[in-house]
Amino acid sequence: MAKQIRFTYDGVDYTLEFTRKSVERMENTGFIISEVFEKPMTLLPTLFAGAFWAHHRFVKRDVIDKIYDSLPNKQDLIGKLAEMYNEPIAALIDEPEADEGNVEWEANW
Amino acid sequence: MGSELVNPVSLPTYTEIFNRQFPFYLSIGMTYDQYWNDDCLLTKYYREAQEIRNDRKNQELWLQGLYIYDALTKVAPALHAMKPQRPSPYPEKPYPITKEAIERDKEEREKAQREKAKAVFTAWAARLNLPEEVNANE
């Protein structure tokens, strides 16, 4: 199973994941993953919003931004999101593994 | 100044790589939706399944070849189609077709060669009737 971030916000369960289609969609809007570490303040919210597209594509951007603002451990989040974003491409090269190491994201509010 | 030092070759985007790989995954049975919208790790398992299919097909072809070989060697004497000599033996197993199988096969052949060389040397040493303990200084 692909890497996911799961959390509940305002009584709604969210599952964040990247598919090839959502990565393609982000690249079509000009997003370049290598720039995230150079401009994290600008691009991390965009990367976070892109992770909603696979399972929650109709959630409005202002709701996503509110969720993003309320999430703790942003430094860890950037690494995990980048890992998730890279998974669709890695899965074209890597061999299957026994443990795919899903991320369980716990919000403490 | 300095702009001429920038490497003009840009890396392909993820989308370009996805598009390039897409026909292969279609050819091994993935659907459009599975490739683009489903769990991205499915591609790994489709590749593994394809290797298993290839291996099975290789086994079947080897077995079919064995039947043909058997039939030919049985019928050839009656037709006087071959000179009176033994035909070359049929391969004991299918030809390795995956990278791992090729490496494994190579290792097995090298090991067999080493064993054979060791046996030849042991037999040769036995024929020489060497004493039990040979003084290294002699």
Task: Determine the pLDDT at residue A98.
Answer: 47
- CA distances to A52, A94, B127 from B25, rounded to whole Å, are 25, 15, 61
Cα–Cα distances in Å, from A97 out to A1, A2, A83, B41, B42? 10, 11, 16, 10, 12
**A24 within 8 A of B18, measured Cβ to Cβ:** yes
Q: Identify the bridge partners of residue A6 per DSSP, sorted by sequence position.
A: A15
Q: Name the residue facing B44 among A18, A27, A96 (closest C-beta).
A: A96
Rounded distance between C-alpha atoms, residue A27 and residue B124, angstroms: 70
Q: Does B44 touch chain A (CB under 8 A)?
A: yes
B127 vs B34 pLDDT, higher one: B34
> Mutate which of B14, B38, B46 to disrupt the A interface (most A C-beta within 10 Å)?
B14
CA–CA gap between residue B26 and residue B21 (Å, rounded): 9
Q: According to the model, what pLDDT value does residue A106 have?
A: 59
Is the minimum CB–CB distance between B56 and chain A shorter than 8 Å?
A: no
Interface pTM, i.e. ipTM = 0.80
Coil, strand, or helix at residue B80? coil
Cβ contact A3:A101 at 8 Å? yes
Contact B40 A88 (CB under 8 A): yes
Residues B60-71: what's their mean pLDDT? 96
Q: How confident is the model at residue B54 (pLDDT cuts 50, 70, 90)?
A: very high
Report pLDDT digits (tens) over B117-126.
Answer: 999 888 888 8
- B18-29 average pLDDT score: 96
pLDDT at residue B1, as a whole number: 44
Percentage with pLDDT > 90 across chain B: 51
Tell me the per-residue pLDDT of A26-83, one tens digit each, with 9 for 90 and over: 999 999 888 887 888 889 999 999 999 999 999 999 999 999 999 888 888 888 999 9
Degrees, nearest 5: CA angle A82-A85-A89: 125
B97: pLDDT confidence band, cut at 50, 70 and 90? confident
**Tokens describing residue A19:** 């598919």
- pLDDT surpasses 70 at B40: yes
Task: Look at residue B111 in the predicted model and tell me its pLDDT.
Answer: 93
Instruction: Please tell me which residue of chain B has the smallest CA distance to A27.
Output: B15
